[in-house]
Chains A and B, each alone.
Chain A
Amino acid sequence: MNKLLNLTKLGGVFLLFLVFSLNVSAQVHVRGTVVDELGEPAIGATIQVKGTTHGTVTDLDGNFTISAPAGGTLVVSYVGYSMQEVPVSTVVNVTLRVDSELLDEIIVVAYGTASRAGFTGSASTVRSEAIERAQVSSVTRLLQGAASGVQSIASSGQPGSDANIFIRGIGSINASNSPLFIVDGAPFDGALNSINPADIESINILKDAASTALYGSRAGNGLVIITTKQGRRNERPVVDARFTYGVSGRAVRDYKQVNTDQYFEMVWEALRNQRMYVGGASATDAAQFATNGVVSRLQINPYGPSFSNPVGLDGRIVPGAVPLWDDNWSQAYTQDARRMEANVNIRGGGAASTYFVSLSYLDDVGIAPMSDFRRYSGRVNLNNDIRSWLRLSTNIALTHSIQNAPQGEDSNLNNALMFARLVPSFYPVWERNRETGALILDANGNRIPDFGPYRPSAAQPGWNHLGTASYNFNRVMRDVATARVALDIDLMKGLTYRTSVNIDYNNRNDHNYVNPEIGPGSSGTVKGSVGRNNIRTTGLTTNNVLTYQPSLEGLHSLRVLLGQEYYERNIVDMRGTRSGFPSLGFTQPSAASQLDNFTGIADQYKLLSYFGSVEYNFNHRYYGSASIRRDGSSRFSPKSRWGTFWALGGSWRISEEEFMQNADFVDNLSLRASYGGQGNDGLNELYAYKALFSIANNLGESGFVTNRMATPNLKWETNLNFNVGIDYSFFNRRLSGSIEYFDRRSKDLLFDVPRPTSIGYPSLPSNAGSMKNYGVELSVTGRIINTSDWRWDLTLNATHYRNKITSLPTELRNGFTSGTKRVAVGGSLHDWFMVEWGGVDPEDGLPQWWMTNGQGERVLTKTYSQANNDASKIITGTALPGLMGGVTSNLRFKHFDLSAMFAYSIGGKLFNQDKWQIQHTGASVGRAWSVEMLNRWTPENRDTDVPRLQSDAFAGGAWTNQSTRFLVDASYVRLKNLTLGYNIPSSILTPLHITSCRVFLAGENLFTIFGAEGMDPEQALNGVSYFRYPAMRTASVGVNITF
């Protein structure tokens, strides 16, 4: 030990001496500037004296000064550009050249990094420049349209909510379809919305076997590798501050509704029709009955007392009658939303260390009353060379967030935006004088929310979220701490050992409160309620990896990796509810008198893994890779818990071949292919082998009830992935991109094989069935204009895939119905299967459906239940899109930049059940009506697909029963983001000691082209709407300052 220490000391002294002696011999004071091809200063380019560690970096104007030995050489390097060597002289001006060979593009992959050139796997990258343009609060929302092969579905516009990510289709029927997220080298267990997008340097999406197999059982649905920013060595401190402020609204206007006059006339018509068509009354009697009945049916008369029967015998509003008020509930319920974000980071580094420190604050207010998301986050990323052979890297991030997330989907009345859609505008939002329509004000001059206890039940009496929103809340408080600590030790030349400990701590604390005095919580005798939940999740990953990269003779390169990893997740969940508050002002359980519930659980999941890989290339022309991983999961029985996963890959850089040397226009051309198997154990259950009885305590005594049968043979799903692709770059990188074909076959699907329920269980978990997803991905980037003033880059990516079930368990070989879908061999997992709409009978205006009768003939029926069976239903298209992707345009003119990203999805169908609620035929008294109902059947309007109105339900079933009538084309194009920026010239900034300053306007979801009026096209993978919080449109101004 002493010997080593002495050697190091000695070496240091020697070096010092050397530097000193050189310094005194013949030093030249060099001044210079480094610019890029457009003459823009290159900030932070490295200038090093060749053969020494002596160096500097350029300043904000690209200038540098350095002392260098006369006759020596300076090495100039800058990310993305070729390294250049220039002889030492007093003035050195360097123009960087883009590295056309792409050799320098390093991407982060499983357990390390790889050079893009020759990479055998399939990866898409989203870089920080693209990330900065989006105004989203969750990292999951960055991927829509941004990368090929990725389907991102943001079902909810609730601030802080995540999008669902699917890579290359749907790999599983019953197990998880989510990719594994890896943050700074280890699987991430924190909430995804806790990651500050501004901290992200790059997101790599790894899609095929070769790139994912090292994560074995966890990689079946692909990997999303997030890498956070780091400081650079020898970089002076750079402060980067960015502020944005914006306003938000709905991205899509809600369904149009009929106005008050139309509504009253339609209610009249419904009453008349009931009386006439069903009751058999004469038209005159029925009209009289309807005229007399409208107001008492609706329990309100917005036309004032002077028009006691506002609808005349002709079914029209009587002359002179005008509604005294018109309160649009959806507008009233849409609060002024704003979005504010502040990010500040400092980065820099010395010779042996780098640092990146960031702080961020986000305040994203939603459009639904009292919905918002606030996030405070901080990060410290440090890298230190402790010894020449020992490096420590530490990434620590802390996030605290508060999300006010009132019910944002479902037909539950707490879902304010859905509720607002249901109440027509003649029911006042605020209490009004019924004679004049004037607002009634309280003693303080404030409007009084009208809870409408008089409203008929379909107009939800007793509810007004504007009255309760400021009291009631559903709050999610999250604390996420992430630590990534790794040590790299050079054991000997070419052999490195890396050990890391990675901990994610995620604490979610919910507080759901209903006040005891105002609104629904005030009814009954036990008033108000509170629920508190605490869910604590910790993820621990430790790994030990040996990497051997020898310097081989000749043209061979080799890299060997061996590793071991242990992963453990612990979940502790406890929750309780109490009710009965004495008054407003108390929101905690301690003040509530009645204990309603208290429970808590703990769960654990463990995974132990061993893995290895070999990568080889010959002369940077022929590349090969092989990897293997063996995983043991606590989820399965000891006899079946170990699984082996593997991959082989190869690539050929055609452009490096001799015969290509004359093809000057080709910068890069490579062909690659891979094949291998990854796993998926993402079942909902963690103990998927035991015969278990649930604990089912009853009335204060212990209880057990059957829960699952023993499944000792249950094991992993396997995804066999084949991938072949071509990467190309032509004309000095003016045109580049890739084309890929993939075929992803899932087998041994973790399948809850349905069993006849009479055996006491609905299903038995089994490995049965197989499915494939196959398709093509394309990405192309063109630098269409490239002059000193103008630069325009256009990127298109497109993905087409098909999902196909190739086999099902024998019990289900004929397929089965799952909700609105039919799952059958040859079809996809999301093929619509429903009752076929038969139109409206022009004779009587009643809805009809197609049924298959006993003779196998297709006949129309007016009784829905006769058509609602598997024999009568039809398969009609799929919920999955045929083509999806994005188009990104980046245009720069001098100091201006304009960028836009469109996401698109073409093909597939959505099932719109949201609109049903406002498409009733008159039985839901007081419920709002969509304008579509204006096209209802009448004797004059016989050729329509909207049935007649009548005040009681149709005996044969409502026309809004599930049928093909409500399928709509899912194709859409959405302008995800648009940014216009201006870089203030350095001539103004330099005196202010500011390096750069960019001001910008940014928009998110600015417009949407979609066929179905009032609906947001982003629903869910299965295509079924669910009364969701619609997407938000945000327009912001921002400034980004660096100094």
Chain B
Amino acid sequence: MKRVVFCGVGALGSNAVVACRNLEARLVLVDFDRVESKNCLSQAFVKPSIGKNKADALKLQLSSFWGVKAESFGVRVDEGNVATLCGSADLVVDAFDNAKSRRVLSAWAKSAGKPLVHAAVSADGTFGLVRWDGRFAADEEPSAGAATCEGGEHLPLIALVASTLARAVQDYVERGARRDSMVALSGVTTTSE
């Protein structure tokens, strides 16, 4: 069974994991952060998960709701542990919310020859990307005080990007396909085969 490591299970990551629950693959969840009440607005967490580590909480939800077994690691990914966390992966998924962590994953995946797919969404909740490493460059976060995608009003777009990411994971696990997509409010567009 293939092993898919999701790095970051916030808005895009948690919703993508839920959409991957029927996949014939071992799901591995990595996130150091804890569930806050505001996260329930746009992430796949339920109220009883508030206060728990996100990776652990999602693992528990997958088991409780659907009987899906997953692995969880409640740690921050950095240069020192990325090989340990992702070394046995058949596919690594980047759904981090910061450029620094995305670059750590990219650099390691290139050096290790691991397939890596990225997903990212704009601060105003109108646009998102799913791109394979090599065609992806991490964008820096906006300055303090700028808009973020934390509010619940962006859930439809977040769900669309997360579903597109889940489909990219599925296509890779089942057929080895690496397809990029661009997601706007007007729909999903494939931008490479």
User: Are A and B bound to each other?
Assistant: no
Binding site for A on B (CB under 8 A): none
